Amino acid sequence: MTVEVNESALSIAAQRQMLLRPALEWIARRAEPLVITLGAILVGLALFSLFILAVGKSPADLYRFMYAGGFGSWFSVQNSLSRASPLLLTALCVALPARLGLVIIGGEGAVVLGGVAAAAIALPIVGLLPPIIALALMAVAAMVMGGIWIGLAGFLRHYRGVNETISSLLLAYIAIALMNQFVEGPLRDPASLNKPSTKPLPHDYMLGNIPGMDVHWGLVIGIIACIVSWILLEMTSYGFAARIAGGNVRAAQIQGLPVGRLIAGFTAIAGSFAGLAGMIEVAAVQGSANASLAAGYGYTGILVAFLARHNPLAIIPVAILLGGIDASGGLIQRRMGLPDATVLVLQGTLFIVILFCETFYGRFKIFNPDLWKRNA
């Protein structure tokens, strides 16, 4: 009788374990990027604290002012959200090609040329077309320009074997030079003396704020872009094909997948998002195309994408976090006497640690169900 009861109890325990195992495996696989990323952030903050101590300042005060400047008040939150808007789009410029195994770091070029294209197309149509149509045409021009610019890096990668990391970075420098040439030359507003820029947009043709908030509609556009990108990657055959090609290009070619078109297409889509970020900067923030377009959003977007593990949905909270850190630079400068670029040093430290922690993926047994002992 006792033996029968024990066997029955063991059978129930085994059934429960079989039912729980799929859930535990799902949690374990998805916990790895979260745990490692959070650990990398903590390590990066600790290393940056040593730097702050070395210059004779208090890390506790720094992080207190950083929180206050980014999220300590409703004004700070709105400022952080505004700064996060372009980061959402420039991070997608990195995240989408990453699914194909490509490392694009030249989104800054698409941002500045997208802004210039938007300003150029606005010159002849402002006053002739309704604002909503003019803004739509500006967005299309910026996306086409950005798509062509980053798509060129993808084209060179597949058809000529040029490293996309180097080519996209060099194209960014070329783009900034072209922006300066156009803004200081044929597109320059004669009334802009000290700071060359294009003719400013009338107020009616600016991208307004979200009702009840001092945050422009670029935030909503960026969030929608992240959601659409997630759907593209996770719920379409194109996204599945991109993941296959990113895992093994040779296997994808054997299966008949159009690897070349995937690379060119995804890099063009990625560049179009960065170009759209440039249009939003012109239509919602600057009011014209000028040197302020090269604000470094394309480079900060690289950090956002890596922190989010190239997940379009995870990009949303990470971009808001980095936007808050960026927004706190002025308060840190005023209260602690540190340079405004202190937050850039922090971002660089975090990026280095994140890259270093890439080596830890797949090394922890707890996150790899394939290495768990299976009961007979």
Average pLDDT, the chain: 87
Q: Is 365 exposed, middle or buried (0-12, 13-18, 19+ CB in 10 A)?
A: exposed
Determine, yes or no, domain membership for 58.
no
Determine, yes or no, domain membership for 374.
no
Print burial letters for 56-87: b (CB count within 10 Å at least 16), e (below 16). ebeeeebbebbeebbbbeeebbbbbbbbbbbb
pLDDT surpasses 70 at 14 = no
Determine, yes or no, domain membership for 271.
yes
Phi, psi (degrees; rounded to nearest 5) at 194? -70, -35
Say what the pLDDT of residue 29 is: 67
Number of domains in the chain: 1
pTM of the model: 0.87
Measure the CA–CA gap between 321 and 298, rounded to whole angstroms. 16
Determine, yes or no, domain membership for 292.
yes
Domain that holds residue 169: 82-322
Determine, yes or no, domain membership for 219.
yes
Q: Per-residue confidence at 376, pLDDT binned at 50, 70, 90?
A: very low
Determine, yes or no, domain membership for 21.
no
Determine, yes or no, domain membership for 29.
no
360 or 314, greater pLDDT: 314
Determine, yes or no, domain membership for 20.
no
